[in-house]
Amino acid sequence: MREGHRTGAERHARGMATRREVLGDAHVDRAEARKDGFTEDFQDMITRYAWDEIWNRPGLDRRTRSCVTLTALVAGGHLEELAMHVRAALRNGLTPDEIKEVLLQTAIYCGVPAANSAFAVAQRVLAERRE
């Protein structure tokens, strides 16, 4: 079967594998446990599209995708998702210094207040990691 013609179930399975690799089993298990009839379709959609169709594209490696994702979350003010993706960036091989550089870049292009908040989130995640 050609890459572009996978079934929804195959895309979901590949997306779930990627989601677990990037976010970790504990996070995905918590998200799956919270899933109900209201959120099930949304969880299926993001698993198939975000975690398979986008994160598994060959054009960028996972380190680069993490840099882009961190920047997008800062730009959009999505700090509730930022901690999760700082952890993912570390899992994808970014160092704390590289994450700092991404956040410094966001200060210029997304604004100092947004970067200031992002630094606080990242600092908490990095402190958790050291404990």
Instruction: Give the residue among 72, 74, 22 at the shortest CA–CA distance from 51.
Output: 22
Residue 47 has pLDDT above 50, yes or no: yes
Reported as a single tens digit per residue, the pLDDT across 78-92 is 998 999 999 999 999
Mean pLDDT confidence for 106-112: 98
Residues 63-94: b if buried by 16+ CB within 10 A, e if exposed: eebbbebbbebbeeeeeeebbbbbbbbbebeb
How many domains does the chain divide into?
A: 2
When pLDDT is cut at 50, 70 and 90, the band that residue 3 belongs to is low
Mean pLDDT for the chain overall: 95
| pLDDT over 50 (residue 1) | no
- 49 and 86 belong to one structural domain: no
Which domain CATH number covers 79? 1.20.1290.10
Neighbours of 97 (CB within 10 A): 7
Check whether residue 44 and residue 13 sit in a common domain. yes
pLDDT of res. 67:
98
Structural domain range at position 52: 1-58
Where does the pLDDT of residue 4 fall: very low under 50, low under 70, confident under 90, or very high at 90 and above?
A: low
Mark whether 85 and 73 lie in a shared domain. Answer: yes
Q: Are the CB atoms for 79 and 118 separated by under 8 Å?
A: yes
